[in-house]
Amino acid sequence: MADLQSVLDDVAREAIEATDRGAVANYIPELAKVDPGRFGIAVALPDGQVHCAGDAQMAFSIQSVSKVFTLTMALGKHGDNMWSRVGREPSGNPFNSIVQLEQEQGRPRNPFINAGAIAVADLILSGHQPREAIGEILRFIRDLADDGSITIDERVARSETAHGDRNASLAHFMKSFGCIDHPVDHVLGVYFHQCAIAMSCRQLARAGLYLAGEGRDPASGAQVITSQRARRINAIMLMCGHYDGSGEFAYRVGLPGKSGVGGGILAIAPGKASIAAWSPGLDAAGNSKLGSTALEHLTRRMGWSVFGS
C-alpha cells in the first residue's frame, strides 16, 4: 500500500494544476462567488487521525452532503418506519426531477435526491419548531466532527430561500399527496439551513468516521448508530449519492459517497477511512469534477475500492 500522505499530496497537486475544472454552481448567487481554483482533501483514519492536503481547512457549503447526517438522524428517530415516506432505490433522474414523484404519488425514490431529503427534513421536524430542528442538526454534526466551531452560513441560507422555487415546488407537491406533515415553509426552513452548513474537508472527513467504523465513532468510542444501519447508509450512498451520476462514481471510484453542489464529496472506505474532497467546479450531473477525479486516484492507489483491491 502506498504512503497515504504522499498520495494525498500527489492528488492535490494534480487537482490544483488541472485546467478543466467544471463549472461552479450558479443556481444560487452565494455559491457562484466561490473561487473555482480551490481544492482540498482530507482522510480520517479509524484511530481518529486526519491527513490533509490542499485547502483542507477552508470551510465550504456542504449542501447535499448534509443529507447523510439528516438520514442518520431520521433513522435514529423513526427507525425503519421512515421507509414508508421515502424509498431507497436509485432514481435514474436528476437531483431535482419531479417526474418520478408524480408517477409514485409523492413518495421520493431515495433520501438523497432533493425531494427525499425534504421528506427527511419533515421527519426530523416532528415535535419541533424549525429553529430547534436546525439546532439539533448542527449539534449532531458538531459532535460527530468533534468541533463546536461549525456554523451555518446565513447568507447562503437566505440565498437558498430566495432562489428556492424548485425545492418549494417539490415540497408543495409532496404536501399535496400528504407525504409531508409540517407546513412547507417550516420544512424548507430546515432544509435550506442544513444545506448552508459550512465545513472544511478536515471537519467533514472527521464527521463521517462513524460510517467507516461500523456506526461507532472510533475516536470518542460513541456508538452513533448500529453497525447494520451504518452498512445500510453506506449502501444508499453508493447507490444514490451522486444522483444520475451514481453509476459513474461507483464505476470510477468504487466507494459509497455523497456529493453536494458546493463541490464537496464525502466518501467512505468501510473499515479503512472517511474521506472528504472539495473543489467547487461541477460536472454535468452536478458532482464535483476534480473531487471525483481525486477520489478515483486516491482509491486506486490505496486499494480502497469496495469492489476489489
Where on the chain is the footprint of a copy of itself (CB under 8 A)? 87-93, 97-100, 102-103, 109-110, 165-166, 168-173, 175-176, 184, 212, 214, 227-228, 230-232, 234-236, 238-240, 244-248, 250-251, 254, 256, 270-271, 300, 305-309
Among candidate residues 50, 67, 190, 224, the one labeled active-site is 67
Burial status of residue 103 (CB atoms within 10 A of its CB: 0-12, 13-18, 19 or more) = exposed
Could you tell me the CA-to-CA distances from 253 to 31, 242, 309 in Å, in that order?
Answer: 26, 12, 12
Nearer to a copy of itself, 56 or 86 (CB): 86
Among candidate residues 68, 210, 243, 259, the one labeled active-site is 243
Among candidate residues 50, 65, 187, 261, the one labeled active-site is 261
Nearer to a copy of itself, 198 or 300 (CB): 300
Q: Cβ 113 to a copy of itself, closest distance in Å?
A: 11
Nearer to a copy of itself, 58 or 169 (CB): 169
Q: Cβ 151 to a copy of itself, closest distance in Å?
A: 28
Query: Which strand (E) or helix (H) includes residue 276?
Result: strand 273-278
Question: Rounded distance, CA 195 to CA 65, Å?
Answer: 8
Closest CA to 193 of 278, 115, 276, 118: 118
Cβ neighbours of 214 (radius 10 Å): 19
**Angle CA 129–132–133, to nearest 5:** 85
User: Is 67 annotated as catalytic?
Assistant: yes
At 11, which amino acid appears?
A: V
Q: Cβ 249 to a copy of itself, closest distance in Å?
A: 9
Q: Cβ 163 to a copy of itself, closest distance in Å?
A: 8
Are residues 147 and 94 in contact, defined by beta-carbon separation less than 8 angstroms? no
Nearer to a copy of itself, 55 or 244 (CB): 244
Edge-to-edge strand order for the sheet containing 197-199? 60-61, 197-199, 151-152
Q: Cβ 137 to a copy of itself, closest distance in Å?
A: 24
User: Is 210 annotated as catalytic?
Assistant: no
Nearer to a copy of itself, 173 or 278 (CB): 173
All three cell numbers of 83: 421507509
User: Is 64 annotated as catalytic?
Assistant: yes
Residues known to be catalytic: 64, 67, 191, 243, 261
